[in-house]
Structure 1
Amino acid sequence: MPKSSLPSTYFDDVYRANDDPWAFETSPYELDKYATTLAALPQEQYANAFEIGCSIGVLSELLAQRCNRLLAVDASELPLDAARNRLAPYEHVTVRQLSIPAEFPDGQFDLILLSEVGYYLGLDDLKRARQQMLDHLTENGHLLLVHWTPFVPDYPLTGDRVHEEFLAIAGEGKPLRHLSGQRLEKYRLDLFQKQ
């Protein structure tokens, strides 16, 4: 298994081959996962949310209806034209090219969503990103992780390993509280709150 994070050029190549490489718009897996993701959010509305890995913005559009402000980012610029077009009606949504953890936005967020992205990072980068998320999460803010669990040879980490790294800093006397977790057939979801 590779140890370093996948470069943004990896995703550029994927998007050059296919505008919607993971069938975000049509896949029953994705549509079910979006519904489960939104249902897991304990608040009806968030003041300032941050979505890491927005791709073409399908989930972003659903999130936009639950947020007063939403920053949606992706490591590759290529899917962001589609995301910007999809999200154009939502003036409170900003779409940016940003590569976590090398770049991280200023500001505080009461919701951070890391969905289907963490396993692209090497372990050191994941730990760095985890700290950045903690630093930019408001007190009592929510951090939601959603990841595919089957093994993928190209990816530096598994979805389970990503979630284990966050569970390791959750509990009494630790920075996060684990609010809920679900394991479905091919993905898992864990919700945390900053304490």
Structure 2
Amino acid sequence: MKSTNLQSLTTDFFEALYRENPDPWQFATSEYEAKKYATTLNSLPRDRYQSAFEIGGSIGIFTEQLASKCESLLSVDVSTIAQEQAKHRCQHLSHVDFQIMSVPDEFPDTSFDLIVLSEVGYYWCWDDFYKAQNLMLDRLKPQGHLEIVHWIVDARVLPLTGDLVHDSFLELVPNRLAHLHSLTTDKYRLDLFEKL
């Protein structure tokens, strides 16, 4: 079912969240997150990517790990509070660039051979999701990889669910994307695509 009255979550929502708790999802301490990050990184088929784009880098835990596979990495988030932590955590990584950016209203002009969308898609309403999806496909280089990872347990009311996000990308196979890899656990889904 693709109908919802909920709007995309706002920058103010995330700023308030990080103001109350600098690590609201326990990215730095959760064993679940550590295992998910390792699986996400190990699922990438290439050892190195020339240019990568991470949407929703948060406090930079996965950003620091992803950087090991990238010649250059752009990590964006809507929260200045979260990104200050990320910048501090990754200050030793000169090839990582950080920008405050509200996707899909803002999006880089450059192209990438890897785009990572992790735990972000369900915060958008359908209109914003489709806009973001089209921008990602437009900015992804041919044979570039798109990796998406989302929590699939409905813990609270969000505009979309993780399953809806992933199913919507699978609908683009085989016309616009090739589906390379899929993993579903009791808590999250991971799908890896390649642009045709």
Task: Name the TM tier (shorter chain).
Answer: over 0.9
2:181 is matched with 180
- How far the C-alpha of 1:22 sits from its partner, in A, is 0.5
2:93 is matched with 90
Counting only pairs closer than 5 Å after superposition, residues 40-55 of structure 1 correspond to structure 2 as: 40-55=43-58
**Rounded Cα–Cα distance in structure 1 between residues aligned with 2:5 and 2:16:** 18
Counting only pairs closer than 5 Å after superposition, residues 12-161 of structure 1 correspond to structure 2 as: 12-161=15-164
- How far the C-alpha of 1:24 sits from its partner, in A, is 0.4
| 2:186 aligned counterpart, secondary structure | coil
- How far the C-alpha of 1:2 sits from its partner, in A, is 4.7
- How far the C-alpha of 1:170 sits from its partner, in A, is 1.2
Which amino acid letter does the alignment assign opposite residue 81 of structure 1? E
CA contact 1:53–1:115 (8 Å) conserved in 2: yes
Of 145-154 and 105-114, the range deviating more from structure 2: 145-154
- How far the C-alpha of 1:151 sits from its partner, in A, is 1.1
Q: Which runs of 4+ in 1 moved over 6 A?
A: none
TM-score where L is the length of structure 1? 0.97
| 1:155 aligned counterpart, secondary structure | coil
**Rounded Cα–Cα distance in structure 2 between residues aligned with 1:109 and 1:155:** 29
TM-score where L is the length of structure 2? 0.96
**Rounded Cα–Cα distance in structure 1 between residues aligned with 2:45 and 2:92:** 25
In structure 1, runs of 5+ residues without a counterpart are: none
**Rounded Cα–Cα distance in structure 2 between residues aligned with 1:51 and 1:7:** 19
In structure 2, runs of 5+ residues without a counterpart are: none
